[in-house]
Amino acid sequence: MKNQYFADRRHLFKYDLLLDVLADVPALARRLTYVPMLTPDDPRGEVARTPTVAGRRRPHLASFLTQGMRNISTLRAFFAVEGVRYSPYRDTTYFDPNDRSEYFGSIPAPQLETGLVFVDPDLGLATGNEENLRRTGHGAYLLYPEVVSLSGRLGESAVLIISQHLSPDDEPVVDSILGRAQELSQRLDWPGVAYVTDEEVVFFGLGRSAEVHRALVRAFERHGNHHSLAAGELCFVDDEREVEAPGASPERPLSESRRD
């Protein structure tokens, strides 16, 4: 996450989704731990494109994002007003990719025991493509072993959600989503991964217990149905990829999702 991109239109999707999950999964007790993996602004980069309209998303969230604040620490006040028990992790200090173990290992245990744990890397999960890693820097990615470690520290009522930016220039969107979800499933020894996507960004989610995971999948499905996005659960059995999104209509398969 970079402050210079904070409050762009993708963040309207992001925080609206998180609020929906917190509202729809009672076991989370409206607790949110935000792990931003904050990195310095890129002087060559563009500034955030603020959302011009809320569409069917929360108008007060869109209003907050259009105020021009380029600092994720302002989320503290926003979530307080929303009645969310918000625990940001190092939202004012930069993530050092040379000390990754210290960064993730120092997340306080109480922040992982219950609630929604959201990890927000610049780009998403590392694919193992060393050329991409060298070009963009290891700090832009979350590594799969780190996901395994975080998952192992979650309490039974907690969920983990990870943001992943999609670049159709690198590989087809469907392949990108399925490949990462399958890797998550195999690494965590968990048959299903919840997802919701607008084909520019995808959010992957996993519940620590089967009951909470099912509730998370339903929350993603409701969000997807409300905003005409592909959503549901990707299940992997015997290394064969199989899409299961029982809450999504046949008109919105993974390969034909639509944006607000």
Q: Looking at residue 129, what is its pLDDT?
A: 57
Angle at CA of residue 247, ends 206 and 123, nearest 5°: 40
Task: Tell me the angle at which helices 9-24 and 210-227 cross, rounded to the nearest 10 degrees.
Answer: 130
Residue 31: pLDDT above 90?
yes
pLDDT tens for each residue of 56-70? 899 999 999 888 688
- Per-residue pLDDT tens over the stretch 86-124: 999 999 999 999 999 999 999 999 999 999 999 999 999
Confidence of residue 248 (pLDDT cuts 50, 70, 90): very low
pLDDT in tens, 131-166: 555 555 578 999 999 999 999 999 999 999 999 999
Q: What is the mean pLDDT of residues 209-232?
A: 97
CB distance 91 to 72 below 8 Å: yes
Q: Nearest to residue 195, comparing CAs of 173, 156, 242, 162?
A: 162
- Map residue 132 onto helix, strand or coil: helix
Residue burial 227-245, b: 16+ Cβ < 10 Å; e: rest: bbbbbbbbbbeeeeeebeb
CB 150 within 8 A of CB 112: yes
User: pTM for this one?
Assistant: 0.88
Residue 160 CA to residue 180 CA, distance in Å, equals 15
Model confidence at 259, pLDDT cuts 50, 70, 90, reads: very low
Q: Any idea which of 168-172, 224-228, 243-247 has the lowest mean pLDDT?
A: 243-247
